[in-house]
A and B are shown apart, each in its own frame.
Chain A
Amino acid sequence: MHDFFYYIQLLLAGITVGSLYALIAIGYTMVYGILRLINFAHGDIFMAAGFFMIFISATTSIYVSLPIVLILTVILGVAVERVAYRPLREAPRMSVMISAIGVSYLLQNFATYYTGGLARPYPVIPFLTREVTIGSMTVKALTIITPVLTVILVVALVLLINRTKIGMAMRAVAKDQNTARLMGIKINNVISVTFVIGSFLAAVGSILYFSNYEQVTPTAGAMPGLKAFVAAVFGGIGSIPGAVLGAYVIGIVETFIKANNDYAIFSNAFTFALLIIILVFRPHGLFGEKLTEKV
């Protein structure tokens, strides 16, 4: 009863959603890989990027605001690390996690206070929202741009980690912080770079995500953040290709569940059931390395 293009359309929508989750999931997985910290504030940094865009584009043109938003989001991400995580570097891991949850609530409540808690319309970015026609389908340009951009960014990131000096330092810190420090690696700098990359990708994701859904609320980061977290766990937290793959699986499957009117309601249930199943049967995820306790 559905034609071929209907399924292509769903697949495209699923890939777009998956790409957006992927951009956020990389932030989770990188920070976890290096600090063994689940940065719960990551989804809220994504939300904050949305509000930055709204407020900055109100005073200047879209093309000027795009780089400003990216820079501000990176500054916010690094500032969070400086203020809330770095002082706790020697503290038990649980303390840092609680601090992350605190930052998450702080950002949400600050946004609620500052904006009055209401949804704000996201500015239209013409080259993302204009419509393009492929065959007999008309889709927004960002449906095509999002996955392409995501793949480019992921490839660039993997090259950065595997081929550059800072990438080598990151891998070393992820393996063993103390040894890395003995080898003369400035741990704090490496961690800051991690947050720079994570926040930058969250900002790119935020621009694409909110261009698609066109309004920002103070809690807008919570759900995408959670989904991206599940994606990161599914792919094996700490592994970048794993997080990307997990994000695409979740995005595409969710979209197809939503397209079935009888089961649409179960789309979130699927995602979180997946989290439980993965944690029970394969706690280190698809590509995650098995954690061996150091003695």
Chain B
Amino acid sequence: MVQIIHIAKKELKDYFISPIAYIVIALFLLLTGWFFFATFFLVGQANMRTFFALLPAIFSFVIPAVTMRLFSEELNIGSYETLLTLPVTFNDIIIGKFLAGVLFVAAILFSTFSYPIIIATLGDLDWGPVIGGYLGALLLGGAFTAIGLFASSLTRNQIIAFIVGTLICLALTLLNTMLFLFPDGIVKAIAYFGATTHFENIAKGILDSRDILYFCSIMVVGLFGANLAMQEKN
């Protein structure tokens, strides 16, 4: 447990001492800010529904960009060897890196807290869906972080890690809009794998254990995949 914290702390520090963190946050604010507020005053409703609806698609690009370096960089410069010969287990490393990624996603989300505060001054904001939305966003971010981490553990090339991560995240995001492609019998099963509906449920303020379980299982699968990839390497 102590080792996990050491690793998470180091990775988180790495984000903020390099320009990556600031670039990613700025990009994220620019994208969400533009798409959200472009229609916000036309619709004239004091809620954040459009903001949360944007998140799965934007996260599909932003989170793999955040996680791509977690393993690939270590593999590339060789510090992976140094890390593995320290008294830590595979799971310490994976969970430590995962936590750093999730905390960074939380930092990104935190930077948007000004939106609900501004909206609340403009109209009567219902805080329930907003809190649900942020909770869902964190779960979604966690799931995508686990996927990105897995993609990063596969290769020493950060670009490949980014593309693989984005592809998986985007597939999960778009799955719900592609359901007409599948035969009737399996539509329901396929629909369960789509991230968007699960996220929308939570974002509406409905906390269903099935949705929470969905995101948690994606995280477990992603982290387990990373563990397998690490074992494969030696």
A binds B: no
Which residue numbers of B lie inside 8 Å of A, CB to CB? none
Which residue numbers of A lie inside 8 Å of B, CB to CB? none
